[in-house]
Structure 1
Amino acid sequence: MIIIDRKDGENIDRMLRRYKRKHRDVKLRRELRDRKQFEKPSDVRRKEVLKAIYRDEKIKNEEL
């Protein structure tokens, strides 16, 4: 749970902006979206491997 304490003389808009930033940094939305649907562990692993391969190829192409 994300808790935002109001600072002295802080505007509501500023507080809302801090809340949104914290929410984005915690990646709560991504976690909730991932939990909506069950994903097999093999599929999760395959996605991780494909992502790593993509990163490696991208780095290799930048070095050339």
Structure 2
Amino acid sequence: MIVIPMKEGENIERALKKFKRKFEKTGVIKELRGRQVYKKPSIKRREEKMHAIYVQKLQQAED
């Protein structure tokens, strides 16, 4: 359960923004979307490798 501590007189919009940020970090929506369609394990591994290669290229470009 996500708990957002609110201070006295804090704006409700700010609390909602904090809640949305915390909820997004949990990855619930991402997992639900991933479960809508079955992906073979080999395809999952291939996508993970491609993502790792992409991230590595980005890091090398920064250096």
Unaligned runs of 5+ in 2: none
**What TM-score results when the alignment is normalised by the length of structure 2?**
0.68
Quick one: structure 1 residues 40 and 55, their matched pair in 2 at CA, closer, same or farther if it must change by over 3 Å?
Answer: same
**Alpha-carbon distance, 1:3 to partner:** 4.2
Quick one: structure 1 residues 19 and 52, their matched pair in 2 at CA, closer, same or farther if it must change by over 3 Å?
Answer: same
Cα distance in structure 2, aligned partners of 1:51 and 1:25: 19
Percent identity over the alignment? 43
Unaligned runs of 5+ in 1: none
Quick one: structure 1 residues 3 and 36, their matched pair in 2 at CA, closer, same or farther if it must change by over 3 Å?
Answer: farther
> 1:3-42 to 2 correspondence within 5 Å?
3-4=3-4, 6-42=6-42
What is the number of equivalent residue pairs in this alignment? 63
